Amino acid sequence: MAADGFDAVVVGSGPNGLSGALTLAAAGRRVLLVEGARRFGGGLRTEELTLPGHAHDVCASVLAIAVASPAFRDLGLNVEFAHPPVPAAHPLDDGPAVLLHRDPARTAAGLGRDGVAWLETVGAAARAGLPLVDTLLAPFGVPRAPVALARFGPLALLPATVLAGTVFRAPRARALLAGMAAHSMLDLRAPVSSGYGMMLASLAHLVGWPVARGGSQTFADALVARLRELGGEVVSGQWVGDLAELPPARTILLDVTPRQFLRMAGPRLPARYRERLSRFRYGPGAFKLDWALSGPVPWRDPAVAGAGTVHLGGTLAEIAHSEAEVAAGRHPRRPYVLVVQPGAADPTRAPAGGHTLWGYCHVPNGSGVNMTEAIEAQIERYAPGFRDLILARSARGPAELERHNPNLVGGDIGGGLAGLWQFAARPVLSPHPWRTPLRGVYLCSSSTPPGAGAHGMGGREAARLALRET
């Protein structure tokens, strides 16, 4: 690692670290990006986890939030985003699957008497367009869509169980919203869980739910290439255990969670700030499986084959029970399972005739329970014969996920509990939560606003604050 000559050093090359580095470099700062892993990207990595020639996204796969984010959408990167015929599907036991289409009206038509309510809630958020997305992704800025926010906000604050149970009258729409809201990894009886579901669903109508052709790694690689074009330097394979290991620079951006920062900063931090950071709560973990398959998943409803994302868990009541069990520290017998079929949009992920599949369920933070059987049973429930197609699988529980990426503390892929308090106090309550008490040192991970997702906004906002202050 070079000894000096940098205006800014960024530690960590996840979406936020890359976004922060690009923001600083575009402003004329000489930037060094340091990544501990062999490959850049953090949650945007793609690896052959099962068999040769089978490309699996290690963490983030569906990149709707990246496409919509103001941190990335105008960069003109050399990345091809591939859209599946159907953004998402929600199979049910007693009828055809609920399909989330790009077209809100087509989605509403499949919801019967709840179609109008869908258009007035999720559809309204989609119609508000990118200004509402920008407002939600920059919660400490001046709202770009104040009227839309005033309509969206009261519904978003509700627990998903309350919103689904009052706005929608039939099981299909309720199940669809539950599957969306469960991305939050919150108990669906908790405030703001509906907001996550509404935003994700509205993004499907607004920009789709695409994958990056070739894998999410191509998106990370394009961001690194742009940073190099701007004069930035990048180093991989060098873990930073202490801030003293970094070359001198007036600005340091850390794409790490509070736990790593406490270790890196040590006694340099004031006791009061250390205490506040130590109270930061991590959310549930994930148990993730990747499969190499000999053929497409044999869904009972053939329409599900065209969906890039599939939510498995049945009804609102069943999904809410599953997430409540996890929140209480227990392992659900029938977990909510989030599945991605990248081949529905990008057939390059496997050799000709082959297929890959990606899926996970939520577990208590730090769980050591193997959820392979429970996850595959949920897939078999809606796709009998699925197990007969498995050529190889890769299983990673919370401990393995954290070893692969130290930011995934206890398997928490969201950078911290996404509840109401930590939406406002992330990682501490402050009008400038990216700033730390150490001069020129800023946090920019998903443990800062606006939280989880491959949107890069934590990095952009931290870098913009640093440009004003250093």
The whole-number pLDDT of residue 140 equals: 86
The whole-number pLDDT of residue 168 equals: 98
- State the CATH architecture for 8-45+212-281+415-469: 3-Layer(bba) Sandwich (3.50)
AA identity, residue 170: A
Nearest one of 191, 192, 241, 185 to 367, comparing CA atoms = 185
CA angle 245, 250, 256 (to 5 degrees): 55
Q: What is the DSSP track for 275-333?
A: HHHHTPPP--EEEEEEEEESS----SSGGGGGEEEEEES-SHHHHHHHHHHHHTT---S
Tokens 């069990």 belong to which residue?
Answer: 325
The answer to whether 198 and 205 have CB atoms below 8 angstroms apart is no
Q: What is the DSSP track for 37-105?
A: SSSS-GGG-EE--SSTT--EESS--B-HHHHH-TTTTTS--S--EE--SEEEEEEETTEEEEEE-SSHH
- C-alpha 272 chain-centroid distance: 31
Beta bridge partners of 212: 81
The whole-number pLDDT of residue 4 equals: 62
The whole-number pLDDT of residue 424 equals: 87
Q: What is the largest CA-CA distance in the chain?
A: 66
Nearest one of 107, 286, 29 to 183, comparing CA atoms = 286
What CA–CA distance (Å, rounded) separates 74 from 381? 42
Q: Is the pTM of this model over 0.75?
A: yes
Domain boundaries, given as residue ranges, for the chain:
8-45+212-281+415-469
Residue numbers of the chain with a pLDDT score lower than 50: 1-3
The number of helices, as runs of H, and strands, as runs of E, in the chain is 17, 16
AA identity, residue 219: F
